[in-house]
Structure 1
Amino acid sequence: MTTSRPASLINPNPPSVERPRVRVGIGGWTFEPWRGTFYPDRLPQSKELEYASHELTAIEINGTYYGLQKPATFAKWRDETPDGFIFSLKATRYATNRRVLAEAGDSIDRFVQSGITELGPKLGPIVWQFATTKVFDADDFEAFLARLPNKIDSHTLRHVLEVRHASFMTPDFVKLVRRYKMATVFTDSPDYPSFADLHTDFAYARLMCASEKRKTGYAPKALDEWTERAATWANGGTPEDLPRVDKKDKAARKRDVFVFFINGAKVRAPEAARGLIARLRKRGA
Structure 2
Amino acid sequence: MRPDATHPEIRVGTSGWHYRSWHGPFYPKDLKIKDFLSYYVGQFDTAEINNSFYRLPTEQAVRAWQKSVPEGFLFAWKASRFITHMKKLKDIEESINLVFGRMGGLGDTFGPVLFQLPPMLKANGETRERVARCLSLVPPDRRIAFEFRHPSWYEETTFRILHDHNAALCLSDHADAPAPWVTTADFVYVRGHGTNGRYAGSYSEETLQNWAHQIAEWRQKGRDVYVYFDNDIKSAAPGDARTLLRLLKDGQSLSAMSSR
Tell me which interval the TM-score lies in, with the shorter structure as reference length: 0.7 to 0.9
Correspondent of 2:55 among 67, 70, 73: 67
Correspondent of 2:114 among 113, 127, 143: 127
CA distance in 2, matches of 1:261, 1:173: 25
CA distance in 1, matches of 2:179, 2:236: 23
1:25-174 matches, within 5 Å, as 25-98=13-86, 101-114=89-102, 116-148=103-135, 149-151=137-139, 156-174=141-159
CA distance in 1, matches of 2:75, 2:124: 30
CA contact (8 A) 1:64 1:92 kept: yes
Matched residue type, 2:184: H
Matched residue type, 1:101: L
Shift of 1:138: 3.0
Q: Which residue of 1 aligns with 2:224?
A: 256
CA distance in 2, matches of 1:142, 1:103: 12
CA contact (8 A) 1:217 1:265 kept: no
Q: Using structure 1 for the length normalisation, give the TM-score.
A: 0.79
Matched residue type, 1:230: I
Percent of aligned pairs sharing the same letter: 29
CA distance in 2, matches of 1:170, 1:41: 47
Judged with a 3 Å threshold, the aligned counterparts in structure 2 of structure 1 residues 190 and 144 are, in CA distance, closer, same or farther, namely closer
Higher helix share: 2
- Structure 1 residue matching 2:170: 3-state secondary structure: strand
Judged with a 3 Å threshold, the aligned counterparts in structure 2 of structure 1 residues 207 and 55 are, in CA distance, closer, same or farther, namely same
- Structure 1 residue matching 2:47: 3-state secondary structure: strand
Structure 2: gaps (5+ residues): 1-6
Q: Which residue of 2 aligns with 1:246?
A: none
Number of residue-to-residue matches in the alignment: 243
Matched residue type, 1:259: V
Shift of 1:211: 5.7
CA distance in 2, matches of 1:166, 1:220: 28
Q: Using structure 2 for the length normalisation, give the TM-score.
A: 0.86
Structure 1: gaps (5+ residues): 1-18, 237-253
Matched, 1:189 2:157: no
- Structure 2 residue matching 1:36: 3-state secondary structure: coil
Larger radius of gyration: 1
Query: Whose RCO is larger (CA < 8 A, sep 6+)?
Result: 2
Shift of 1:120: 1.5
CA contact (8 A) 1:210 1:268 kept: no
Q: Which residue of 1 aligns with 2:164?
A: 179
CA RMSD of aligned residues (A): 2.2
Q: Which residue of 2 aligns with 1:273?
A: 241
Q: Which residue of 2 aligns with 1:232?
A: 217
Matched residue type, 2:190: A
